[in-house]
């Protein structure tokens, strides 16, 4: 396993750039006067390219590989096409349901709770989904956890 290691010689201050008594290091650990960290800038988090952030805070993910399921309800069988999934932020009740589910079903439960698709339907849809769509769906749910509102906004 490769690890990042930075060696700093505290006895030789002439080689280390110091700005306002603070040593400035770039992401490789190299000392540089040119390194500037933009704390208000993009932190690298983003949605998948096939996802759109909606005005209400939900995220719509267009599936790369749409699926059609036969769903039976009230004795009637119908085709339901899943070309897009709309994800909602999870609330406390959703998180409780996810955490109380078995390890094997946590992803399925989180997808079901976030998309508001019935668990039985999500179980079958998930089994048919392409791996790329499953990965993108997971990225959308992770985005909700990483992108909370900032204080004062």
The per-residue pLDDT for range 25-54, each reduced to its tens digit, is: 555 556 555 556 555 555 556 899 999 999
**Non-local CB neighbours of 143 within 8 Å, separated by 6+ positions:** 45, 46, 47, 59
Q: Per-domain residue ranges for the chain?
A: 1-37, 51-146
pTM over 0.85: no
Tokens 């589910």 appear where?
Answer: 101
User: Which residues on neighbouring strands pair with residue 22, listed in sequence order?
Assistant: 19
Give the span between the Cα atoms of 121 and 11, in whole angstroms.
65
**Cα angle for residues 115, 145, 2 (degrees, 5° grid):** 120
pLDDT of 40 reads 55
The per-residue pLDDT for range 58-113, each reduced to its tens digit, is: 999 999 999 999 999 999 999 999 999 999 999 999 999 999 999 999 999 999 99
| Residues in the chain, total | 153
pLDDT of 95 reads 95
Helix (H, G, I), strand (E, B) or coil at 113: helix
Structure tokens at 20: 């306002």
Give the span between the Cα atoms of 119 and 117, in whole angstroms.
6
**Non-local CB neighbours of 130 within 8 Å, separated by 6+ positions:** 63, 64, 65
């Amino acid at each position: 396993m490769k690890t990042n290691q930075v060696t700093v010689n505290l006895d030789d201050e002439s080689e280390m750039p110091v700005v306002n008594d603070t040593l400035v290091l770039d992401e490789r650990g190299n000392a540089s006067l040119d390194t500037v960290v933009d704390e208000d800038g993009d932190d690298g988090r983003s949605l998948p390219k096939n996802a759109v952030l909606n005005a209400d805070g939900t995220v719509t993910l267009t599936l790369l590989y749409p699926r059609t399921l036969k769903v039976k309800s009230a004795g009637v069988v119908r085709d339901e096409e899943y070309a897009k999934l709309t994800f909602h932020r999870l609330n406390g009740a959703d998180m409780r349901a996810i955490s109380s589910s078995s390890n094997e079903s946590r992803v399925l439960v989180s997808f079901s709770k976030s998309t508001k698709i019935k668990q039985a339907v999500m179980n079958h849809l998930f089994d048919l989904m392409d791996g790329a769509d499953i990965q993108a769906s997971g990225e959308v749910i992770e985005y909700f956890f990483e992108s909370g509102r900032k204080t004062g906004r």
